């Protein structure tokens, strides 16, 4: 945990973890960096560098013990610790994310939703309540949640992001297709949903 | 367009495009492959190889003219051509994607939605109609749309994917957190929404 790993490398690790889960399900015992590289279409040397940065070492010739490597990554990526987040903007996307089953395996839990719509405030999405956005600063402090998932419409994204920062939020996962500015001490990750589509459509056109 | 580019390179190009958009917004005129490589933490040689594969050449010493290179990539990635897709599963996520503004800049247009729910069939999401899933094979052929965005619940994903393949769909962008098997001639891209979150939460924990 003490070594500094680069952010892009960090971004690649979840895909390695995904492959390990898949390989384990299919009953394999060992996997090589070359196989991982091929499955993800990235350079083998890059894969080896990334894995080394997490402090994990494979066995010469046989590669990585899948079960052991998976446990290592779970620990490194802190997947067994529950990570709480608030979701801001209880529209279709917000509700879909609040219900999304795929977050569980990464330990992500959306604690509560926030909206400004008086018709939504107080209602439930499954077991999660929609709160008045005005309550955010108070709940950030009381519940000690510092990550926000931003699913408001693009034209409102900057204004809401400013309010999140004022409310004590430290990291924003932005789904709005808007270029948001935040102070340097705030972490922002923009979810660009469309770029995967570009690759898919180009692959289909035979490029 | 005639040159064959590798899938890994193709997958990296949207990130280059994203960087060019950001750099142009911030008023820069030129960018070097080294700067792009640093921002994405991949090898400079890799970046230069990828860019060369698109047929673009920078100016010695000054690097790439951002505006010109951006226009080149737009053309190469075919971003100005409308790409039609069908969306399968008109739940919250499906509706959110059908309304998502961020797809426009990549030329993606969701032509129609499909569902099996009799209460949804025939209704509209903005200007897009929800059709009976049974109509899919007919509409794939008539409208010549061969890309499907899959937003059904995970337990239904495989069954629906099988039906998509039978219906003539050639590429599936899968949002369901499920491990789908498709024939080798079908392109599948799995959208793992949670992995970005892992990175964000690790960055916040100071890793």
Compare CB distances from A101 to B22, B78, B177 and report the shortest one's residue. B177
Of B31, B47, B76, which residue is a domain's last?
B76
Nearest chain A CA: its distance from B64 CA (Å) = 22
Cα first-last separation, chain A: 41
Three-class SS string for B113-160?
A: EEECCCCCCCCEECCEEEEEHHHHHHHHHHHCCCEEEECCCHHHHHHH
Q: What are the strands of the beta sheet with B187-190, ordered from one edge?
A: B124-125, B128-132, B108-115, B83-88, B147-150, B171-174, B187-190
Same domain, B72 and B87: no
Residue A96 is encoded by which pair of tokens? 């879909």
CATH for A48: 1.10.10.10
Question: Are β-strands B64-65 and B30-31 bridged in parallel, bridged antiparallel, or unpaired?
Answer: antiparallel
Average pLDDT for A167-177: 92
Domain that holds residue A59: 7-76
Q: Which of B101, B153, B201 sits opposite A83 (nearest CB)?
A: B201
- The answer to whether position A135 is within a domain reads yes
The pLDDT-based confidence of B1 (bands split at 50, 70, 90) is very low
Instruction: Give residue A44's pLDDT band: very low, low, confident or very high (50, 70, 90).
Output: confident
Nearest to B33 by CA among B19, B22, B46, B47: B47
Looking at residues A54-83, what average pLDDT do you find?
90
The verdict on A69 and A110 lying in the same domain is no
Q: Assess if residue B202 is contained within a domain.
A: no
Q: A207 lies in a domain?
A: no
More confident residue, B115 or B6: B115
- One domain, residues A28 and A116: no
Q: What is the pTM of this model?
A: 0.80
In a domain, B101, yes or no: yes
Search chain A and give the residue with CA nearest B1: A207
Domain termination site, one of A76, A98, A132: A76
Task: Give the range with max mean pLDDT: A49-53, A175-179, A196-200.
Answer: A49-53
Q: Domain for residue B200, yes or no?
A: no
CA distance B32 to chain A (A): 19
pLDDT digits (tens, 9 = 90+) for B70-102: 999 999 988 888 889 999 999 999 999 999 877
CATH number of the domain bearing residue B147: 3.40.50.720
**CB within 8 Å: A198 and B95:** no
From the CA of A128, how many Å to the nearest CA of chain B? Answer: 16
What's the whole-number average pLDDT of chain A?
89
The alpha carbon of residue B99 is apart from the nearest alpha carbon of chain A, in Å, by 9
Domain end (from A46, A76, A106) = A76
Between B40, B99, B192, which is nearest A8 by CB?
A: B40
Whether residue A201 and residue B83 make contact (CB cut-off 8 A), yes or no, is yes
Q: Does residue B120 share a domain with residue B36?
A: no
What's the structural domain count of chain A?
Answer: 2
- Cβ contacts from A onto B, under 8 A: 190
Lowest mean per-residue pLDDT among A25-29, A121-125, A138-142, B67-71? A25-29
Q: Which of B53, B78, B197, B203 to mutate: most A Cβ within 10 Å? A: B197
Give the separation between CA B130 and CA A194, rounded to whole angstroms.
Answer: 22
Write out pLDDT tens, residues A132-168: 999 999 999 999 999 999 999 989 999 999 999 999 9
């Amino acid at each position: 945990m003490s070594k500094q790993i680069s952010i892009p490398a960090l971004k690649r690790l979840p895909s390695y973890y995904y492959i390990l889960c898949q390989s384990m399900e299919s009953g394999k015992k060992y996997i090589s960096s070359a196989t991982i590289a091929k499955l993800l279409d990235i350079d083998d040397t890059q894969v080896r560098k990334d894995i080394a940065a997490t402090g994990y070492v494979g066995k010469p010739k046989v590669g990585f013990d899948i079960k052991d490597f998976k446990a290592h990554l779970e620990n490194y990526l802190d997947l067994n610790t529950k990570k709480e987040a608030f979701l801001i903007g209880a529209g279709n996307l917000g509700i879909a994310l609040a219900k999304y089953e795929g977050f569980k395996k990464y330990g992500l839990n959306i604690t509560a939703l926030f909206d400004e719509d008086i018709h939504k405030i107080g209602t439930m999405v499954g077991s999660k309540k929609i709160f008045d956005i005005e309550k955010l600063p108070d709940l950030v402090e009381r519940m000690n949640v510092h990550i926000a998932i931003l699913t408001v419409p693009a034209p409102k994204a900057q204004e809401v992001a400013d309010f999140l920062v004022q409310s004590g939020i430290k990291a924003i996962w932005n789904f709005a297709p808007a270029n948001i500015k935040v102070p340097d001490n705030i972490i922002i990750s923009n979810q660009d949903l469309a770029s995967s589509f570009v690759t898919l459509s180009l692959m289909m056109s035979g490029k």
